[in-house]
Structure 1
Amino acid sequence: MEVIKDLSKWKIDSSTIITIGNFDGVHLGHQTIIKKVLSLAKEFNLKSGVVTFSPHPIKFFNKDIKLIMTERKKIKIFESLGIDYFFNLTFNESIANMDPEIFIREFLVKSLKASFIVVGYDYRFGRKRKGDYELLKMLETKYGYTAFKIPPVKIDDIIVSSTNIRSLLSKGDVELANKMLGRPFTLEGVVVKGDGYGRLLGYPTANLSVKNELIPANGIYATKTIINNKKYLSVTNIGIRPTLVNKNEVRVETHIFDFDEDIYDNFIEVEFHSYIREEKKFEDVNSLIKQIQKDCEKAKEILCR
């Protein structure tokens, strides 16, 4: 897969099949869109492309939003799905204020050479978000492309959306979030030195300097940790460690079962599979140790099902 950040340096002679959106999380709804793109690409022997923007348009308009995944993870997933081109283009005033028809004509048709355009049911574009699927459909003949709209995907009667997944993760509901994502939610980053409390308690932890913007709710989770493409069962604490320190600094600490290697400065990923309990302050360290033992047993029970 080719990653393009500057359209002026990208040229193609043949037509393409394009989808456009934010694709934060690349959830089941997004994957349904991608399946349609790839199906068309195979049928008409054309190259497939995913167009997304940075910064996220919501961020551009100075609204707060925490993204589900890193750009690295997003690119990796699209590559695994079989997309030919991943466009991560700069979102700026020009794009934000572009007339929707000009966006279609100059950007999608002339620059990207789209002969097929596949969008989600709620995709909007152009000045004041006035462009939508209906406009794409209306201008098909004029600009020589075919537009497709993909309906929403639902799980437990809830629409699968990045917004809903963010809400679920912020509440610690990783199980339903994972169903919507079609894979376990992951945090990724580099292992850094911590305070050493875990080792003193008999449960050494990998302390993660997290690259993700969105971190799930504080609590204890059954997780799997990926180190050098190998998965290990683990239990992860997200929180402020109230029994040990008097700070409000949120940390992500993972105890990896049956593992005793030096992984400082290593890049790792932590998959979140199930919420075990909320973080709490214990009366003493011995009570904390007993609870950690129970958490480990519970995590193993969940992960070995």
Structure 2
Amino acid sequence: MELIRGTHNLRPRHHGCVATIGNFDGVHLGHRAVLAQLRARGAALSLPVLVMTFEPYPQEFFARDNPPPRLSRLREKLSGLAAAGVDRVLVLRFDERLAQMDPEAFVDELLVRQLGVRHLVVGDDFRFGRGRAGDFALLERCGRRHGFEVVHTPTFELEGGRVSSTRIRELLARGELDAAAALLGRPYAVQGRVAHGAKLGRTIGFPTANVHLHRRSTSLDGVYAVTLQTADGRRFDGVANLGRRPTVGGTREQLEVHLFEFCGDLYGRAVSVEFRKHLRAEQRFASLDALTAQIERDAQAARAYFRALSAS
């Protein structure tokens, strides 16, 4: 899959494609249904599949002080899009210039002149351009004028409702990890590199791998049974805390993972952490001894969960 950062990196060879536009946060089953439809159309037209997405997300630009939590950062999203068979991803910086762009100029300059879009798939509630004046009807009119097809994304429902990133965030926030995994098509996971921390865990008998989240906020909070996977495919079960660590005066969200059957050094290594079961909310303890006793109970609960899982 080819990553194109910004329109200044578009070349003549990028002209001609089938395309879709959106955040694709989490690359869930609904997204993958759209991409499968787009791949089929691309194959019929002998054209590559292109996804146009934005950094930051438009919601993050317009709600700078309180943006919605992300399901995936850019690296994770690109991995999901590549696995879904996308040929090219165009990442546009969402800024004031793009927000104020005339909708028809967006279509004429980018979709027609630079990309040569022949088939476009968007949500029927898709809005773009200055004052959000661009909509599905405008795209249809432009498509008829310039000779490209415009279709809306098919509704993809599962577990009694439409599959969406918002719905998955809500499930994660309520600790309903199995339901979120059903909509994602996989357990919810975050990727990052293991970094050096304060090394407090090893002093109380629970050494942890500290994984950088690289995001302002998440839909998760608390203690979880998790599975950590290394870049070479090794998998280790464990227990993790995602939060601000109030007992030790923490101030920012941090992911700390204690692995049950691991001996070695993960510092600097890329890992993926799957969240399998929510055990409890994060809380403040009166002392380190009380915290240590609770971590032991959490570890026992996580071990029991994995034993039951393997026996089922």
Q: Same fold (TM over 0.5)?
A: yes
User: How far is the alpha carbon of 1:280 from its aligned partner?
Assistant: 4.2
Render the CA deviation track for 1:134-161: whole Å, top value 9, x for unaligned. Answer: 2222333211001111133223333222
d(CA) in 2 for partners of 1:190, 1:17: 35
Q: 2:242 aligns with which of 238, 257, 260?
A: 238
d(CA) in 2 for partners of 1:25, 1:199: 33
| Residue aligned with 1:210, SS | coil
**CA separation of 1:58/1:141 partners in 2, compared to 1, >3 Å: closer, same or farther?**
same
User: How far is the alpha carbon of 1:54 from its aligned partner?
Assistant: 1.7
User: How far is the alpha carbon of 1:76 from its aligned partner?
Assistant: 1.4
d(CA) in 2 for partners of 1:295, 1:207: 21
User: How far is the alpha carbon of 1:289 from its aligned partner?
Assistant: 5.2
Matches for 1:217-236 after TM superposition, within 5 Å: 217-230=220-233, 231-236=235-240
d(CA) in 1 for partners of 2:89, 2:295: 47
For normalisation by structure 2, the TM-score amounts to 0.87
Q: Percent identity?
A: 34
**1:194 matched residue in structure 2:** 197
**1:50 matched residue in structure 2:** 51
- Of residues 79-88 and 193-202 in structure 1, the stretch that sits farther from structure 2 once superposed is 193-202
The one-letter code matched in structure 1 to 2:178 is E
User: How far is the alpha carbon of 1:14 from its aligned partner?
Assistant: 5.3
d(CA) in 2 for partners of 1:220, 1:290: 12
Q: 1:97 aligns with which of 78, 97, 100?
A: 100
- Of residues 38-47 and 165-174 in structure 1, the stretch that sits farther from structure 2 once superposed is 165-174
User: How far is the alpha carbon of 1:273 from its aligned partner?
Assistant: 1.9
Whether 1:119 and 2:122 are equivalent positions in the alignment is yes
d(CA) in 1 for partners of 2:258, 2:305: 11
- Of residues 150-159 and 137-146 in structure 1, the stretch that sits farther from structure 2 once superposed is 150-159
d(CA) in 2 for partners of 1:275, 1:82: 32
| Residue aligned with 2:75, SS | helix
**1:5 matched residue in structure 2:** 5
**2:301 matched residue in structure 1:** 295
User: How far is the alpha carbon of 1:197 from its aligned partner?
Assistant: 3.9
User: How far is the alpha carbon of 1:3 from its aligned partner?
Assistant: 0.8
Render the CA deviation track for 1:57-96: whole Å, top value 9, x for unaligned. Answer: 1222244323221111111111222211110012233322
How many residues were matched structurally? 304
User: How far is the alpha carbon of 1:185 from its aligned partner?
Assistant: 1.8
CA contact (8 A) 1:4 1:85 kept: yes
Render the CA deviation track for 1:10-56: whole Å, top value 9, x for unaligned. Answer: 22275210111111111222111111111111112111100012221
Render the CA deviation track for 1:265-301: whole Å, top value 9, x for unaligned. Answer: 2222211122122334567447425413422323423
d(CA) in 2 for partners of 1:114, 1:56: 22
User: How far is the alpha carbon of 1:196 from its aligned partner?
Assistant: 3.6
Render the CA deviation track for 1:96-115: whole Å, top value 9, x for unaligned. Answer: 22232332222211111001
**2:278 matched residue in structure 1:** 275
**1:139 matched residue in structure 2:** 142
**CA separation of 1:55/1:293 partners in 2, compared to 1, >3 Å: closer, same or farther?**
closer
| Residue aligned with 2:167, SS | helix
User: RMSD in angstroms over aligned alpha carbons?
Assistant: 2.4
CA contact (8 A) 1:221 1:299 kept: no
User: How far is the alpha carbon of 1:219 from its aligned partner?
Assistant: 1.9
> Unpaired runs of 5+ in structure 1?
none
d(CA) in 1 for partners of 2:29, 2:195: 33
> Unpaired runs of 5+ in structure 2?
none
| Residue aligned with 1:51, SS | strand
**2:256 matched residue in structure 1:** 253
| Residue aligned with 1:86, SS | strand
CA contact (8 A) 1:191 1:268 kept: yes
Render the CA deviation track for 1:172-210: whole Å, top value 9, x for unaligned. Answer: 333222222222222222222334443344332212222
CA contact (8 A) 1:170 1:217 kept: yes
**CA separation of 1:166/1:265 partners in 2, compared to 1, >3 Å: closer, same or farther?**
same
CA contact (8 A) 1:240 1:250 kept: yes
Matches for 1:204-215 after TM superposition, within 5 Å: 204-215=207-218
CA contact (8 A) 1:97 1:127 kept: yes
**2:183 matched residue in structure 1:** 180
User: How far is the alpha carbon of 1:6 from its aligned partner?
Assistant: 3.0
